[in-house]
Amino acid sequence: MTADSLTSIRELDCRWTNGIQVRLLWCEFDGRVSVAVVDTTSQESFRIDVPDGERPLDVFYHPFAYAARQRVEREPGDGLEVASRMESREGKPGARP
């Protein structure tokens, strides 16, 4: 992961509901759109890459439905730590550290 790819992440929207933060992210470096979810109560988090042909706002407003459909695994721990581990494991940016 390069410094350019880290600084190219832009938060397009963010919302909070009952301790759950949902962020719509766009990577200027490669054009990917993703949704990052952090549950501040359980400290679990996950990220969903918005598939081609899907509407990013649909994923943003219904992340758990898309996560189930894509079989996204939640990870325990501090939400920011988890997002950072996801980025380094994949070698791609997905959320701001």
Q: What does the pLDDT look like over 29-40, one tens digit per residue?
A: 999 999 999 999
Within a domain: 42: yes
* CA pair distance 73, 46, nearest whole angstrom: 7
Give the count of domains, the chain: 1
Residue-wise pLDDT for 39-63, tens only, equals: 999 989 999 999 899 999 999 999 9
In a domain, 95, yes or no: no
Tracing tokens 């979810």 back to the chain, one arrives at: 37
Judge contact between 72 and 48, C-beta under 8 A: yes
With beta carbons less than 8 A apart as the criterion, state whether 24 and 12 touch: yes
Rounded to two decimals, the pTM is: 0.69
Quick check: is 97 in a domain? no
Domain hosting residue 49, numbered range = 3-89
